[in-house]
């Protein structure tokens, strides 16, 4: 079986939707010999920043000379981006062999795309003898397919309203879902959380008899930079390749988690891990300058908190451009009105587009939201063509493509197929 046939079969599993529950994953992993039980893992959850924090942790571990697996989702252009070891993506041949070998089991048991991909990652990491693995949750935590681990460390980056149809309509409910990845003996690390969420996680840690480390207890905040101090490291001079103050907190949280979990006291290696995160992990879509003259920025802000973080940085540079336009697409279970209300005052033109994904809001639905809010917007039928045309226009303008990673991935893949 060739890799494209295998991937087609994998993507076809989306017909089984999102199944919240662990039985399928547990049974499949038992069928595979329970590879997850042999992995030493950092398990990452959060409303925002979990992908960036996971990448920072992975990069730091690589700089410390550990063979490190990294599992994230979704991918942008190529499925293989989800499963990497020391920056190298899983081989096409492994994907094809895995799907061919377990195809009957997968279909007979109606496994979902994410269940199969998660199990594949765990088996791949085990067979390749990784030292440590960094595993990002998919949706929530409690019933997420990744929640079969007994991790060394649990990292919760942020808590805000998202996936309310699945995770709940209150901070208490959402926090409970994410905190469910906290296991006995794991060290727990939290980013800058609101008091209610922090208190709930404290209670969970007490219940599980785990150590809790709060980022706020280890950082000094200044206008232009953030300092991190632990018993092991002093990080007050570091290069940040990812734009945005919020990324400084993600990097500091990663440094805290690695230093306290593995008692690493080499500040130079922590600093190098932060500096080299892009080359070590291939992270993309985080305030990413996709093109210059005209400037095109890709950002995967997918909820109100993420939009606020993005705008806090974008406002600093927006006056450099003659005109700022936004191309927007997002999942239907997000706080769309709140996101649009935040974005509208910042941009001269607002464009809406469809995403080829069953959970995505249709452009027509987004337009209805805009009309309800009194926001002027237009629908773009082909996002790829729209971005491609923009690249040949006024070099002093700026286009921000913002929202779901699926939108960014579709555009990137389309532009790569048809380069301008």
Q: For position 297, what pLDDT does the model report?
A: 97
Contact 321, 396 (CB under 8 A): yes
Q: For position 168, what pLDDT does the model report?
A: 47
Share of the chain above pLDDT 70, in %: 96
Q: For position 17, what pLDDT does the model report?
A: 57
Confidence check: pLDDT of 96 > 80: yes
Boundary residue ending a domain (235, 257, 281): 281
Q: Name the packing angle between helices 245-262 and 50-63 (round to 10°).
A: 50
Asked which of 102-106, 150-154, 386-390, 411-415 is least confident by mean pLDDT, the reply is 411-415
Encoding tokens for residue 280? 């070590």
Residues 232 and 349 in one domain: no
CA dist., res. 361 & res. 334, Å (int): 9
Residues 269 and 145 in one domain: yes
Q: For position 47, what pLDDT does the model report?
A: 85
Residues 299 and 215 in one domain: no
Q: How many domains does the chain have?
A: 2
| Each residue's pLDDT tens digit, 111-140 | 999 999 999 999 999 999 999 999 999 877
What's the domain range around 357? 288-417
Confidence check: pLDDT of 214 > 50: yes
Asked which of 2-6, 149-153, 264-268, 389-393 is least confident by mean pLDDT, the reply is 2-6
Boundary residue ending a domain (222, 249, 281): 281
Residues near 131 by Cβ (< 8 Å), separated by ≥ 6?
Answer: 40, 61, 66, 67, 68
Q: For position 189, what pLDDT does the model report?
A: 98
Boundary residue ending a domain (281, 299, 330): 281
Confidence check: pLDDT of 9 > 90: no
Residues 256 and 155 in one domain: yes
Residue 171: pLDDT band with limits 50, 70, 90: confident
Tell me, rounded to whole angstroms, the distance of Cα 383 from its chain centroid: 22
Residues 109 and 230 in one domain: yes
Contact 62, 80 (CB under 8 A): no
Confidence check: pLDDT of 16 > 70: no
| Each residue's pLDDT tens digit, 24-70 | 999 999 999 999 999 999 999 998 899 999 999 999 999 999 999 99
| Each residue's pLDDT tens digit, 184-195 | 999 999 999 989
């Amino acid at each position: 079986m060739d890799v494209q046939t295998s991937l087609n079969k994998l993507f076809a599993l989306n017909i089984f939707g999102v199944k919240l529950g662990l039985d399928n994953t547990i049974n499949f992993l038992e069928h595979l010999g329970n590879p997850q039980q042999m992995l030493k893992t950092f398990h990452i959850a959060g409303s925002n920043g979990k992908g960036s924090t996971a990448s920072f942790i992975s990069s730091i571990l690589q700089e410390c000379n550990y063979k490190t697996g990294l599992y994230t989702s979704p991918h942008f252009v190529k499925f293989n981006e989800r499963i990497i070891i020391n920056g190298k993506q899983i081989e096409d041949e492994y994907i094809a062999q895995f799907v061919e070998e377990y195809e009957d089991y997968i279909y007979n048991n109606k496994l979902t795309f994410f269940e199969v991909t998660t199990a594949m990652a765990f088996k791949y990491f085990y067979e390749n003898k990784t030292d440590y693995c960094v595993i990002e949750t998919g949706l929530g935590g409690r019933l997420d397919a990744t929640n079969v681990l007994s991790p060394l460390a649990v990292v919760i980056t942020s808590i805000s309203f998202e996936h309310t149809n699945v995770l709940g309509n209150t901070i208490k409910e959402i926090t409970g879902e994410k905190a469910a990845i906290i296991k006995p003996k794991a060290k727990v690390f939290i980013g800058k959380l609101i008091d209610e969420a922090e208190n709930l996680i404290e209670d969970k840690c007490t219940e599980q008899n785990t150590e809790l480390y709060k980022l706020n207890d280890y950082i000094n905040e200044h206008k232009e930079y953030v300092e991190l101090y632990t018993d092991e490291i002093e990080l007050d001079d570091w290069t940040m390749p990812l734009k945005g103050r919020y990324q400084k907190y993600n990097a500091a949280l990663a440094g805290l988690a690695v230093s306290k979990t593995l008692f690493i006291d080499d500040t130079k290696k922590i600093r190098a891990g932060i500096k080299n995160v892009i080359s070590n992990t291939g992270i993309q879509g985080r305030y990413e300058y996709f093109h210059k003259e005209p400037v095109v920025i890709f950002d995967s802000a997918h909820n109100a908190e993420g939009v606020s973080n993005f705008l806090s940085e974008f406002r600093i540079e927006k006056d450099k451009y003659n005109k700022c336009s936004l191309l927007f697409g997002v999942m239907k279970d997000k706080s769309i009105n709140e996101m649009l209300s935040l974005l509208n005052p910042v941009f001269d033109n607002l464009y809406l587009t469809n995403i080829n994904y069953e959970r995505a809001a249709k452009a027509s639905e987004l337009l209805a939201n805009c009309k309800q809010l009194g926001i002027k917007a237009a629908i773009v039928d082909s996002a790829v063509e729209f971005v491609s045309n923009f690249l040949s226009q006024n070099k002093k303008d700026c286009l921000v493509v913002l929202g779901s990673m699926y939108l960014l991935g579709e555009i990137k893949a389309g532009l790569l197929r048809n380069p301008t």
